[in-house]
């Protein structure tokens, strides 16, 4: 370690720990009357937000919550959830954002594993809890969330309704300072094998992630995502990686926020129109659902900028969106990375390009965000060339990566090797620093001694005008080791054959986008492609089904 001159310990008394409460300072100062909207139900101002966060802190403290306790939330995407994003960590407790799309058994597993002390649960999820409540071991207190005047009757022994508790609570709470490395949030990743794994983030990590996100997504002329006149609506659930951390950034900047509640495509489009939403983030599936609605046809979407993550943004989807005026960008990250690692990056001059050429940039995984180091390495841990061709596993360093898996240090050691977090993604890096994810390591198809990217193949298949979606996995093959196997869903009313798709793919052999040997011989036209609870293609399940 270099012998630097370090600030004298006595003076460190004036050091300022990075705490989530500081993210709540500036938004209400800049825009006390700015609105936070809950779907078509209600709205309030930033001044109200601060008032309600103080009340929630008092209500929880009155209910016995102490620093170090874990408070779980099961809710739709609501301003209430935003209040929990702040109030729970701000009293020193840990916010557990429960994945409500997991099976009841898995929800029980995560609650017991996280050692939840208190749970705030929405009426709609009470039936789940009622069915499993005897298996939940550590929860002492239940609080009910409702969207109706009267909370739903339940056999769960709650201490009351959220709104009533807030109404009765004092609206002044003196939020304490504490160690910035205190855990602020936890949630569970939804792998396709084994039990969910808990990741966790500290106050320091979330503050730094917010600052870099704000600078990054605000600072590019060609990506006016988070600006003072932006209107933000999340379209990835708040239980999943804090809705990518954007609610913290939006609140810090004092911009208008629209929380949609549950995701009903027609309703989401109506909210877009009514509030002139300018910035969202979502997985491709949600975008496809919204683009399939009737009401989107009459929407002016020219100012709607959308970060697409979770699965790859295909050229087909990006182009279809562009024709409606929607500006899409790839964002890259994962539950373990808080999540921001990189985003597709258009330079001012790129905005002058024809849409098709812009799409080629927008679908790339992009350039690492400030303070993020990304490298691609071979199985021996050596960097592979940044030539746009060579593939390697993406590894990352950044100030906001999960330090391990909660109570599973061994799995944490697999995640962290040689001081780098191993993402399990395979990518190439261009000389201009642009990353392109090619596949998950476990989804790469090893055929005839070559690595074939299942994502590349899905992307090309999805460009057929009749195709709605595609999933490609490797299946064992005696001669080649593995061969690609594609599941394809078609747009309503369309009908195509294996040969049509093969002919479509042949066109890309000439352009060099694909090798002839990569064209699949096996394509299954299906109604639905299996997805995980967070909307990713469930390739594990597809492989298992093909095995049977």
By CB under 8 A, the residues from 4 to 43 that bind a copy of itself are: 4-8, 10-16, 18, 22-23, 25-26, 29-32
Which residues from 221-240 bind a copy of itself, rule CB under 8 A?
A: 221-222, 224, 226-229
Pairwise CA distance, residues 317 & 4, whole Å? 51
Nearer to a copy of itself, 94 or 121 (CB): 94
Q: How far apart are CA 98 and CA 72, in angstroms?
A: 6
Interaction between residue 516 and a copy of itself (CB under 8 A): no
The set of residues, in sequence order, having a beta carbon less than 8 Å from that of 520 and lying 6+ positions away, is 457, 472, 483, 484, 485, 486, 502
Task: Give the span between the Cα atoms of 162 and 87, in whole angstroms.
Answer: 13
Structure tokens at 21: 């409460």
**Enclosing H/E stretch for 267:** helix 265-275
Out of 356, 413, 414, 451, pick the active-site residue. Answer: 451
Q: Is 150 a catalytic residue?
A: no
Provide the edge-to-edge strand list for the sheet that holds 279-282: 42-45, 35-38, 256-259, 231-232, 279-282, 305-308, 327-333, 340-343, 367-368
3-state secondary structure of 305: strand
Among 102, 126, 243, 253, binds a copy of itself (CB under 8 A): 253
Q: Which residue among 83, 180, 336, 375 is the active-site one?
A: 336
Tell me which residues in 72-101 interact with a copy of itself (CB under 8 A). Answer: 91-92, 94
The verdict on 381 binding a copy of itself (CB under 8 A) reads no
Residue 47 binds to a copy of itself (criterion: CB under 8 A): no
* Cis before 381? omega within 30: no
Contact flags string 175-214 toward a copy of itself, x per CB under 8 A: -xxxx-xxx----------------x-x----xx--xx-x
Please indicate whether residue 336 is annotated as part of the active site.
yes
Short-list 96, 86, 120, CA closest to 203: 86
Residues present in the chain in total = 548
Strand positions, DSSP E, 358-405? 367-368, 373-377, 392-397
Q: Do 429 and 388 touch, CB atoms closer than 8 A?
A: yes
Q: Return the residues of window 423-462 that contact a copy of itself according to CB under 8 A.
A: 432-433
- Nearer to a copy of itself by Cβ, of 277 and 445: the residue is 277
Is 189 known to be catalytic? yes
Contact 71, 96 (CB under 8 A): yes
The smaller minimum CB distance to a copy of itself, of residues 239 and 405, is found at: 405
Pairing of strands 141-145, 256-259: unpaired
Which is closer to a copy of itself, CB of 252 or CB of 505?
Answer: 252
Phi/psi of residue 396, nearest 5 degrees: -140, 150
Is 402 or 454 the residue whose CB approaches a copy of itself more closely?
Answer: 402
The answer to whether residue 137 is catalytic is no
> Which range touches a copy of itself (CB under 8 A), out of 219-227, 302-310, 380-388, 536-544?
219-227
* Number of residues binding to a copy of itself, judged by CB under 8 A: 80
- Considering only 41, 137, 140, 397, the residue that binds a copy of itself (CB under 8 A) is 397
Q: Which residue has the tokens 């898995």?
A: 106
CB of 14 to a copy of itself, least distance (A): 5
**Closer residue to a copy of itself, CB minimum distance, 214 or 358:** 214
Provide the minimum distance between the beta carbon of 215 and a copy of itself in the complex, in angstroms, as a whole number: 4
User: Is residue 414 close enough to count as binding a copy of itself by CB under 8 A?
Assistant: no
In whole angstroms, give the CA distance from residue 73 to residue 84: 8
- Find the catalytic residue in 61, 154, 189, 532: 189
Q: How far is the CB of 151 from a copy of itself (least distance, A)?
A: 31
Give the distance, in angstroms, between the CA of residue 140 and the centroid of all CA atoms in the same chain: 30
**Binder of a copy of itself out of 194, 354, 418, 419 (CB under 8 A):** 419
- Tell me if 403 contacts a copy of itself by CB under 8 A: yes
Per-residue x/- track, 337-376, a copy of itself (CB under 8 A): --------x-xx------------------xxxxxxx---
Stretch that binds a copy of itself, among 61-69, 240-248, 306-314, 535-543 (CB under 8 A): 61-69
Nearer to a copy of itself, 149 or 349 (CB): 349
Q: Which is it for the CA torsion 149, 154, 160, 166, positive or negative?
A: negative
DSSP string of 39-108, one letter each residue: TTTEEEEHHHHHHHHHHHHHHHHHTT--TT-EEEEE--B-HHHHHHHHHHHHTT-EEEE--TTS-HHHHH
Report, in Å, the least distance between residue 131 CB and a copy of itself.
Answer: 30
382 binds a copy of itself (CB under 8 A): no
What distance, in Å, lies between the first and last C-alpha atoms of the chain?
55
Does 67 participate in binding a copy of itself (rule CB under 8 A)? yes
Closest to a copy of itself by CB, 7 vs 153, is 7
**Residues with catalytic annotation?**
189, 336, 446, 451
């Amino acid at each position: 370690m270099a012998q630097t001159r370090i600030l004298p310990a006595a003076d460190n008394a004036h050091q300022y720990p990075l705490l989530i409460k500081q993210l709540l300072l500036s938004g209400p100062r800049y825009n006390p009357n700015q609105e936070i909207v809950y779907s078509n139900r209600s709205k309030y101002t930033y001044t109200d937000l601060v008032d309600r966060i103080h009340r929630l802190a008092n209500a929880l403290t009155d209910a016995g919550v102490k620093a170090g306790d874990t408070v779980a939330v099961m809710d739709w995407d609501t301003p209430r959830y935003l209040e929990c994003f702040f109030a729970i960590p701000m009293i020193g407790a840990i916010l557990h954002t429960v994945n409500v799309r997991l099976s009841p058994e898995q929800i029980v597993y995560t609650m017991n594993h996280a050692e939840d002390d208190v749970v705030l649960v929405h009426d709609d999820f009470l039936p789940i809890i009622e069915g499993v409540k005897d298996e939940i071991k550590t929860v002492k207190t239940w609080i009910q969330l409702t969207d109706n005047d009267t909370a739903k009757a339940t056999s769960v022994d709650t201490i009351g309704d959220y709104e009533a508790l807030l109404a009765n609570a004092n609206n002044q709470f003196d939020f304490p300072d504490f160690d910035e490395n205190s855990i602020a949030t936890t949630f569970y990743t939804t792998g396709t094998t084994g039990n969910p794994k808990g990741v966790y983030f500290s106050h320091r990590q979330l503050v730094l992630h917010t600052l870099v996100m704000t600078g990054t997504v605000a600072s590019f002329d060609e990506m006016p995502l988070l600006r003072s006149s932006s209107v933000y609506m999340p379209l990835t659930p708040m239980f999943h990686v804090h809705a990518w951390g954007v609610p913290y950034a939006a609140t810090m900047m004092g911009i208008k926020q629209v929380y949609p509640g549950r995701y009903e495509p027609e309703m989401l489009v109506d909210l877009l129109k009514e509030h002139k939403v300018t910035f969202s983030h979502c997985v491709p599936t949600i975008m496809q659902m919204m683009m399939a609605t009737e009401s989107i046809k009459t929407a002016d979407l020219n100012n709607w900028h959308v970060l697409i993550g979770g699965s790859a943004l295909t050229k087909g989807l990006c182009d279809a969106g562009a024709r409606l005026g929607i500006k899409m960008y790839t964002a890259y990250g994962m539950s373990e990375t808080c999540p921001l690692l990189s985003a597709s990056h258009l330079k001012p001059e790129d905005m002058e390009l024809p849409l098709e050429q812009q799409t080629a940039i927008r679908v790339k995984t992009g350039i690492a965000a400030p303070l993020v180091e990304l490298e691609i390495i071979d199985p021996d841990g050596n960097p592979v060339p940044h030539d746009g061709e060579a593939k390697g596993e993406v590894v990352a360093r950044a100030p906001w990566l999960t330090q391990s898996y909660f109570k599973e240090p061994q799995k944490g050691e697999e995640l962290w090797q040689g001081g780098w977090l191993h993402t399990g993604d395979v990518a190439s890096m261009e000389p201009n620093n642009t990353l392109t994810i090619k596949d998950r390591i476990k989804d790469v198809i090893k055929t005839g001694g070559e690595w074939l990217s299942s994502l590349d193949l899905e992307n090309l298949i999805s460009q057929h005008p009749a195709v709605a979606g595609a999933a490609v996995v490797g299946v064992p093959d005696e001669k080649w080791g593995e061969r690609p196997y594609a599941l394809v869903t078609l747009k309503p009313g369309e009908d195509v054959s294996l040969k049509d798709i093969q002919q479509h793919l042949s066109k890309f052999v000439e352009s060099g986008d694909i090798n002839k040997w990569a064209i699949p011989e096996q394509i299954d036209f299906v109604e639905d492609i299996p997805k995980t609870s967070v909307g990713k293609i469930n390739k594990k399940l597809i492989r298992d089904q093909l095995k049977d």
